[in-house]
Amino acid sequence: MSQLSIRSQSHNYDVVIETGVRHQLDKWITKPYSSVLIVTDRNVSEHYLQDVVTSMEKVSTVHTALVPSGEASKSMGKYQELLDRCIETSLDRQSLIIALGGGMIGDLAGFVASTYLRGIDFIQMPTTILAHDSSVGGKVAVNHVQGKNLIGSFYSPVQVLYDIETLRTLPETELRSGYGEVMKHAMLSDSAWLEELLGRSITSLEDNQLIGDLEKGIRVKASIVEKDEREQGMRKFLNLGHTLAHAIEAELGYGEITHGEAVSIGLLFALQLSETRVNASGLPIKDYVNWMARNGYPLSSIQSLQPVALLKRMKVDKKTVNQQVHFVLLNEIGKACVVPIQDDVLLTELHRFQTEVVNV
């Protein structure tokens, strides 16, 4: 079991990582709520909704709301449907929303909670490894047809309850996706932990390894976000690996590759750039490529993409300033910086990435 306290601008909250939490919600949720709405998706509901309902019914009146699985549900339409459901079930200011699912459910249900009656309590129950990242930091949102996360709020949960049993049903590609962000958090913080991770096989993780990795990842995210909730400064470091990752996702078409898998490739590119652009030395590039290969990361997916097309995608990144792409790089493991990179340099580096680094 692991329990962390996170500080947000408005309040402090606990993250509990434990086996079987979903069966003991009456123990973990200590505030009395007049009623509860559990928001989840159809995939997750098949496995875990009944457990959560049974456990919550011991302490409150329970309602449920299901949305289809997948990023398409993070929409204004589903946002409105859920608000209607809040009203239909007469949620009041003493009610609670539980977001049971991955990042999509957390973002969607969190945005509903942040605006229903000008904000009611919500609890995150993440069911993916990837969601260790999104469940901390207070960003909630829905997508607009013109772009991801364009409508949202900064609104933190009152608790994050992580039942690691719910991670045992994840397909391998979701394990890889989650460990993409875990790797990022290790590279931003701690070379000893990174070395440990590079020894792991993600399909044979023990409970204590998984709990430890989630806890360390959340600590890294939390320590940065506590200092810079509104992304004025160092929160930008959390974009390590994401500039290329977003370009890959967009260029391949959303859903063709998981977010965390794209991030894992973006991290490798950031390591390469760190060596050539800020003269970092001693980065474990080779070990990291080998780890990716051993764990089935789709390294080759970058090969089919044109450097010019990737560059064009990177230019519309939120971190682009005055038409110049800004990259988060590493001076060393645990020490990030933001560096502008010129277009021609980027094209050359992308070409080298495809021909040399990825083929190590």
Residue ranges that bind a second copy, judged by CB under 8 A:
9-10, 76, 80, 83-84, 87, 111, 114-119, 139, 141, 144, 146-147, 149-154
Comparison of 31 and 144: residue with beta carbon closer to a second copy: 144
Residue pair 281/302 in contact by the 8 Å Cβ criterion: no
Comparison of 82 and 99: residue with beta carbon closer to a second copy: 82
Q: How far is the CB of 229 from a second copy (least distance, A)?
A: 10
Residue pair 145/183 in contact by the 8 Å Cβ criterion: no
Comparison of 11 and 294: residue with beta carbon closer to a second copy: 11
Comparison of 23 and 148: residue with beta carbon closer to a second copy: 148
In angstroms, rounded to a whole number, what is the distance separating the alpha carbons of residues 103 and 74? 10
Q: How far is the CB of 265 from a second copy (least distance, A)?
A: 27
Q: How far is the CB of 238 from a second copy (least distance, A)?
A: 15
173 is in an annotated binding site: no
Comparison of 114 and 135: residue with beta carbon closer to a second copy: 114
Q: How far is the CB of 146 from a second copy (least distance, A)?
A: 5
Cα-Cα-Cα-Cα dihedral sign, residues 270, 272, 276, 281: positive
Residue pair 122/107 in contact by the 8 Å Cβ criterion: no
89 is in an annotated binding site: no
In angstroms, rounded to a whole number, what is the distance separating the alpha carbons of residues 274 and 359? 18
127 is in an annotated binding site: yes
276 is in an annotated binding site: no
Cα 186 to Cα 112, 128, 146, 323, distances in angstroms: 32, 18, 33, 30
Q: How far is the CB of 124 from a second copy (least distance, A)?
A: 17
In angstroms, rounded to a whole number, what is the distance separating the alpha carbons of residues 241 and 221? 15
User: Phi/psi zone of residue 27: left (φ > 0), alpha (ψ -120 to 50 degrees), beta?
Assistant: alpha
**Residue 142: strand pairing partners:** 151
90 is in an annotated binding site: no
Q: Token pair for residue 282?
A: 């001693």
In angstroms, rounded to a whole number, what is the distance separating the alpha carbons of residues 51 and 169? 15
In angstroms, rounded to a whole number, what is the distance separating the alpha carbons of residues 283 and 134? 27
148 is in an annotated binding site: yes
Comparison of 133 and 174: residue with beta carbon closer to a second copy: 133
Annotation: binding site for NAD(+): 69-74, 127-128, 139, 148, 166-169
Annotation: binding site for Zn(2+): 181, 242, 259
Annotation: binding site: 69-74, 127-128, 139, 148, 166-169, 181, 242, 259
